[in-house]
Amino acid sequence: MLDRRLFLKSGALLGSAAALGTVAFAAYCEEADAEIPPVPPAAPPWMKTPGGSFTNYGRPSPYEKNVIRWIASNQSSPSNGVSWTPLQDLEGTITPSGLHFERHHNGVPAIVPERHHLLIHGLVARPLTFKLSDLLRYPEISWLCFVECGGNSNAGWNPRPLQARAGHLHGLASCSEWSGVPLAILLDEAGVDRTQAKWLYAEGADAGAVGASIPMAKAFDDAFVALYQNGERLRPENGYPMRLLIPGWEGVTHIKWLRRLKAVVEPMMSRNETSKYTELVPNGTARQFTFVMDAKSVITAPSPGKKMKEPGLYEITGLAWTGRGRIIRVEISADGGASWAEAELQEPVLPYCFTRFRIPWQWTGAPAVLQSRATDETGYMQPTRDALVAARGTHSYFHYNAIVSWRVSAQGRVSHVYG
Amino acid sequence: MSMVESKGWVVVFVLLAVGISLARGANRSAETTSPRGPDLGHRVSDKTAAAWDISIPPDGHNLPPGSGTVADGEKLYRERCIDCHGKEGQGLSAEELVGGVGGLAGDYPEKTVGSYWPYATTLFDYIRRAMPQEAPLSLSPDEVYALCAYLLFLNGVIAEADEINTATLPAVQMPNRDGFVPINKMAR
């Protein structure tokens, strides 16, 4: 049954798929989709000849060749840039390792694991180095964690909405199962002087030695040195052979190719915690050490490039996440924020992890503006763009997390608008 | 796996590890903290650790001996930096390094070394580790000091005759020194 209270001008948002019983949703189609022959052959050719051989390492189907990271780098220095996770093409909550977003300041180092060492020094009782082979003998933990670049979604600061796919706007965020060694164990072995050392400076072994200062309290709380991603060793572009994972905090603190940790009294004030990853606000000061990624959500279907062919019952789905623990609620509007309905959260809902939300939507064919709004366990609710801009101006560059609006036209085409 | 389960795992492990460290505690009695892992780290000397350490905090601790002049920096800038950062730090394929002082609250703020960077030590730290992009860690301390001097001069922070060295760099007062507000409570 339709919930009459949720009947909206442009269509109906329904409480949950479960409440409807078994339903068939209409399919989103790519704007460039070719027509598929309506009647499939009873015995397709691949049933009449032996299939392909075994492979040592599986690859996606060649027909999925368009599900790739979108690369945007400096033309004069292609090693400095980003690649975006195609959020609009993925389901569930885990990002395939080969599609995890990248932000490299000077390329992916070709590290020989036997020649890589992690040094812990500074205000410690005994400076220590660890090799990968050492860390592999430590007890490990596994966490499903998102990693999000502090600059993700920053197209939102533009005065006009940029037209791009959901992943090209919000895909500097990915979610993996990371496994590794709790940092507290290693710091304790080195004998960090916690009365003095309030900060930990972390540095990578890339060509640029990207570094960041992390409060020691966080380092001891839940940070870990990740060795595995989604069950296999880290990919080179994700920090092989070891990287930091700082659950819920901005990506720049999750130092890849981790080579050095220095216990210090004050933050290092390195380039990436002063001139970058700080947010200028209208009075001319800048927010610094922002660290926590505020709650965010984005509808991945429908979304720009994924249109609706005809009126019918669709599933609206997307992702929500927060650096403050768990998502407790995601609400969806089909009328630009005038009314909201609560989406179903796909279990399990985990802290610091992508949460998949879903809600059925009866699209009548009338234009609509779709929005999602996430609330986390602290009660923090994702702000409107107007509220975020009122608080921060438009020159913050980092930490943009306003509600995202997709406009659906009468033809079913989806575009990015400011709701 | 939930956070609670993860931490539970750690707690179990710590209980085991305490047993291990107690069992071998005889030669550790003088130390202030007790290892709680399997203790597989390799002890290195302070000298070895110092050789790895390329980070420069605002107080200038860890700056290597050396010095550089604005003139030397200008010459080096023309050879190694100008192709990406443009003439006199005006920016090209890489970002602008000069200008914008006093304009951070305006409609078109420019975040440059002069207008935005709170500490001059960051220049030394960053240039040495990351620049030039095709050959990081290749410049000598004198060359890095000279580039710091040139960029600080272009931004009107020091005079043309000023020398930048181990003592003078951390003493430089940047225009936006007090422009940052720490947000995270752990950072305060």
| Amino acid, res. A308 | M
User: Is B30 found in the same domain as B122?
Assistant: no
Q: Are residues A131 and A242 in the same domain?
A: yes
Mean pLDDT of A388-404: 97
- Closest by alpha carbon to B18, among A185, A180, A121? A185
CB < 8 Å to A144, chain B: 1
Q: What's the longest Cα–Cα distance across chain B?
A: 66
Is residue A126 in some structural domain?
yes
pLDDT band at A21 (very low <50, low <70, confident <90, very high): low
Cβ distance A390 to A336 under 8 Å? no
Query: Given a cut of 50, is residue A357 above it in pLDDT?
Result: yes
Q: What is the widest separation between alpha-carbon atoms in chain A?
A: 74
Same domain? For B35 and B72 the reply is no
Q: Which of B63, B64, B67 is nearest to B158 (CA)?
A: B67
If asked whether residues B134 and B72 sit together in one domain, one would say yes
Q: For an interface test with A, which of B6, B92, B127 has the most A Cβ atoms less than 10 Å from its Cβ?
A: B6
A243 and A359 share a domain?
Answer: no
pLDDT classification of A34: cutoffs 50, 70, 90 = low
Outline where DSSP puts E strands in A53-198.
70-74, 77-84, 102-104, 117-122, 128-131, 141-148, 173-182
| A308, part of any domain | yes
Are residues A313 and A236 part of one domain? no
Q: What is the pLDDT of residue A42?
A: 87
List CB contacts (< 8 A) between B181 and chain A.
285-288
Inform me whether the pLDDT recorded for A5 exceeds 70.
no
Residue B82, domain CATH? 1.10.760.10
Residues B87 and B161 in one domain: yes
What does pTM read for this prediction? 0.91
Domain CATH for A347: 2.60.40.650
- Its ipTM equals 0.91
The pLDDT score that the predictor gives to residue A304 is 97
Residues B112 and B146 both lie in one domain: yes
Q: Does residue A58 belong to any structural domain of this protein?
A: no
Structural element, H or E, at residue A385: helix A385-392
Please indicate, yes or no, whether residues B22 and B71 belong to a single structural domain of this protein.
no
Q: Tell me if A274 and B45 make a contact (CB, 8 A cut-off).
A: no
Count of structural domains, chain B: 2
In a domain, A99, yes or no: no
CATH number at residue A246: 3.90.420.10
Establish if A64 belongs to a structural domain: no
Query: End of a domain among A229, A253, A277?
Result: A277
Q: Tens of pLDDT along A218-270?
A: 999 999 999 999 999 999 999 999 999 999 999 999 999 999 999 999 999 99
Query: What pLDDT is recorded for position A29?
Result: 81
Same domain, B106 and B154: yes
Over 60: is that where the pLDDT of B28 sits? no
User: What integer pLDDT is reported at residue A171 of this predicted model?
Assistant: 98
pLDDT at A22 (0 to 100): 66
Do the Cβ atoms of B93 and A201 come within 8 Å?
no
How many Cβ atoms are within 10 Å of A131's Cβ, its own excluded? Answer: 18
Average pLDDT of chain B to the nearest whole number: 86
Least confident of A25-34, A237-246, A382-391, B85-94: A25-34
Q: Which of the four pLDDT bands, split at 50, 70 and 90, describes residue B58?
A: very high
- B33 and B125 housed in the same domain: no
Look at B41 and A79 and tell me if their CB atoms are within 8 Å: no
In total, chain B counts a number of residues equal to 188
Domain span at B128: 67-171
pLDDT score, position B11? 38
Indicate the burial class of A408 (C-beta count within 10 angstroms; 0-12, 13-18, 19 or more): buried
Question: Is a pLDDT exceeding 90 seen at residue A37?
Answer: no
In the numeric block, the tokens 């009866």 are attached to A362
Contact with chain B for residue A271, Cβ under 8 A:
yes
What is the rounded distance in angstroms from the CA atom of residue B92 to the CA atom of residue A363? Answer: 48
Q: What is the pLDDT of residue A211?
A: 98
**Distance, first Cα to last Cα, chain A:** 29
Instruction: Please indicate, yes or no, whether residues A141 and A262 belong to a single structural domain of this protein.
Output: yes
A59 within a domain of the structure (yes/no): no
The mean pLDDT value of chain A amounts to: 94
Over residues A203-210, the mean pLDDT reads 98
Least Cα separation, residue B170 to chain A (angstroms): 12
Question: Is there a single domain that holds both residue A170 and residue A258?
Answer: yes
Is a pLDDT exceeding 50 seen at residue B95? yes
What pLDDT, in 10s, does the model give residues B4-16?
A: 333 333 333 343 4
Chain B residues in contact with A215 by the CB 8 A cut-off are 184, 186-187
Size of the A and B interface in Cβ pairs below 8 Å: 208
CB A122 within 8 A of CB A371: no
Domain coverage including residue A202? 113-277
Same domain, yes or no, for A399 and A311? yes
A86 domain residue, yes or no: no
Count of structural domains, chain A: 2
Among chain B residues, the shortest Cα distance to A217 is held by B186
Closest CA to A409 of A363, A376, A372: A363
Strand-pairing partners, residue A342, are: A331
- Residue B177 in any domain: the answer is no
Same domain, B32 and B73: no
